Amino acid sequence: MANREALRELQTRLASRLQAARSGDVSVAWLAVKAGESNYLFPLAQSGEIFPLTNVQVVPYCRQWFMGVVNLRGGLFGVVDLASFMSGGSTRGRTEQSLAESSVITINSALELNCALMVDGLAGLRKRDAFAGAEAPPEGSPVFFGTRFTDRDGAHWQEINLQSLSQLPEFLSISA
């Protein structure tokens, strides 16, 4: 129970910082998330709101990485398990505990796609100066991969261009 409250507090703090970053002259560039074993950076201008993962309604005959739909603030959003989408794997096999600790991040409404990405963890907001190095994405990477950053601890963070992802035919085609 304490973990849920801590997660809600983190989500509330991140949501208020996201709003402040969008409205002010703050030099925050990304929302940092963890999905599976990977670290990702979502550009703030392309990211939407953060919600806890709750009440996902399963949709039959969909790809394994498409978890279903959820009602967020009165809008119907498709939920994509980001780790499964990236690996081509399945959303099955996750424990109830891991799902309870997961969050969904909507894609900015300006991109006109009612979609939310399920992530395993939130890692806060990042500025460019939080990273020690940057390099082009590895050869053969998906078109939505942006710069690959390395933080001061040596961890790699892959920037995801949510606009490019949201236009990708493979992402838009959820039928199995």
Instruction: Locate the domains of the chain by residue range.
Output: 2-172
pLDDT, tens only, 70-81: 999 999 999 999
Span of 77-81, 90-94, 95-99 with lowest mean pLDDT: 90-94
CATH classification code of 2-172:
2.40.50.180
pLDDT, tens only, 130-151: 999 999 998 999 999 999 999 9
Rounded distance between C-alpha atoms, residue 101 and residue 97, angstroms: 6
pLDDT, tens only, 31-75: 999 999 999 999 999 999 999 998 899 999 999 999 999 999 999
**Measured CA angle at 4 (ends 89, 63), to 5 deg:** 20
pLDDT at 97 exceeding the cut of 60: yes
pTM of the shown model: 0.82
Helix intervals (H) in 1-117 = 2-23, 82-87, 96-100
Contact 18, 30 (CB under 8 A): no
pLDDT at residue 115 in the model: 96
pLDDT at residue 92 in the model: 56
Q: What is the chain's Cα-based Rg? A: 16
